[in-house]
Chain A
Amino acid sequence: MPDPIRASKPIRSESWSSLVERRSFRTVMGALAAVSLILLLAPTVIVIIASFTSAFSLKFPPPGYSTRWYLALWNESPEIIAAFKLSLQLASIATGISVVLAVAAAMALARRREQWARGLEAMFLSPLMLPTLALGLALLMLVNLAGTGLSFWTLVIGHIAITSPYIVRTTTASLVQLDRSLLESARSLGASGWFTFRTVTLPLIAPGIAAGAFIAFMYSFDNVAVSLFLSDARSEVLPIRMWHIIESNLDVRAAAVSGVLIAATLILMLVMERLVGVSRHVR
Chain B
Amino acid sequence: MSTAQVATLPVPPQLPARGLRLEAPVSLALPLAIFFVAFVLVPFMLLAFVSLHEDNGLKTMGFAQYIKFFGDSFNLSVLGDTLLLGLKVTLLTILIGYPLAYLYVNAPARWQTLLMLLILLPLLTSSVVRTFAWVVILGRQGIINTLLLDLGWVDAPLKLLYTPGAVTVALAQIELPLMVLPLITSLMNVDPNLRQASLSLGAGHWRTFMQVTVPLSVPGLLAGSLLVFASAVSAFVTQTLVGGGQQIFMPFYMYQQAIQANEYPFAAAIAMVLLLCVLVIVTVINAIGRRSKGFVHA
Inter-chain contact A59/B121, CB cutoff 8 Å: no
Complex Cα distance, B275 from A168, in Å, reads 22
Contact check: which of A4, A40, A43, A225 meets B137 at CB < 8 Å? A43
Q: Which residue of B129, B135, B185, B255 contacts A250 across the interface (Cβ within 8 Å)?
A: B135
Interface string of A170-202 (1 = CB under 8 A from B): 000000000010011001100001000100000
**Interchain nearest-CB distance for B204 vs A (Å):** 4
Report the bound CA distance from A3 to B215 in whole Å: 20
Interface residues of A in 9-59 (CB under 8 A from B): 18, 21-22, 24-26, 28-30, 32-33, 35-37, 39-44, 46-47, 50, 57-59
Q: Name the CB-closest residue of A to B29.
A: A108
Chain A contacts of B254 at CB under 8 A?
Answer: 133-134, 137
* Cα of A29 to Cα of B97 in the assembled complex, Å: 11
Assess the B26–A141 pair: CB atoms within 8 A: no
Q: Tell me, yes or no, whether A8 is within 8 Å of chain B by CB.
A: yes
Nearest-neighbour CB distance to chain A for B165, whole angstroms, equals 14
Minimum CB distance partner of B181 in chain A:
A283
* Docked CA distance A242–B240 (Å): 13
Known: A39-B96, A133-B234, A160-B35. A242 touches B118 (CB 8 A): no
Is chain B's binding surface mostly helix, strand, loop or mixed? helix
Distance A32 CA – B95 CA, assembled complex (angstroms): 8
Residues of B within 8 A of A228 (CB): 236, 255, 259
Q: Scan A202-223; emit 1 where CB is below 8 A from any B CB, else 0.
A: 0000000000000100100110
Docked complex Cα distance between A256 and B99 (Å):
33
The CA of A242 and the CA of B241, in the complex, are separated in Å by 11
Contact across chains for A43 and B100 when beta carbons are under 8 A apart: no
Interchain CA distance A250-B140 in the complex, whole Å: 13
- Which residues on the B side are within 8 Å of A107 (C-beta)? 24, 28
Which of B1-9, B73-81, B193-201, B287-295 faces chain A? B193-201
Q: Are B50 and A141 in contact (CB under 8 A)?
A: yes
Given contacts A133-B255, A188-B17, contact A273 B117 (CB under 8 A): yes
Q: Mark out the residues of chain B between 194 and 221 whose CB falls within 8 Å of any chain A CB in the assembled complex.
A: 195-196, 199-200, 204-206, 209
For A127, the chain B residues whose CB sits under 8 A away are 40
Contact status A33-B137, CB under 8 Å: no
| A40 vs chain B, min Cβ distance (A) | 5
- Interface range on chain A: under 10, 10 to 19, 20 to 34, or 35 or more? 35 or more
Of the residues B26, B226, B275, B282, contact of A108 by C-beta under 8 Å:
B26
Given contacts A43-B134, A164-B32, A242-B128, contact A25 B205 (CB under 8 A): yes
- Residue B268 lies at the interface, judged by CB distance under 8 Å to chain A: yes
Most chain B CB within 10 A, of A1, A43, A180, A197, is at: A43
B241 touches which one: A58, A123, A243 (CB < 8 A)? A243
Closest Cβ of chain B to A276, distance in Å, is 13
Q: A30-B103, A108-B25 are in contact. List 9 more A-B contacts (CB 8 A).
A: A8-B196, A25-B206, A101-B31, A135-B43, A137-B258, A141-B264, A180-B22, A247-B241, A261-B126
18 contacts between A and B (CB under 8 A): A26-B205, A29-B99, A29-B209, A131-B233, A133-B236, A133-B254, A138-B43, A141-B50, A161-B35, A161-B39, A184-B20, A188-B20, A218-B124, A224-B236, A228-B236, A228-B259, A255-B136, A279-B116
Listed in ascending order, the chain A residues whose CB lies under 8 Å from chain B are: 1-5, 8, 18, 21-22, 24-26, 28-30, 32-33, 35-37, 39-44, 46-47, 50, 57-61, 100-102, 104-105, 107-109, 111-112, 120, 123-124, 126-135, 137-142, 145, 157-158, 160-161, 164, 168, 180, 183-184, 187-188, 193, 197, 215, 218, 221-222, 224-225, 228-229, 239, 242-243, 246-247, 250, 254-255, 257-258, 261-262, 265-266, 268-270, 273, 278-279, 282-283
Top 3 A-B residue pairs of the complex, sorted by shortest distance between their CB atoms:
A43-B133, A131-B234, A138-B43
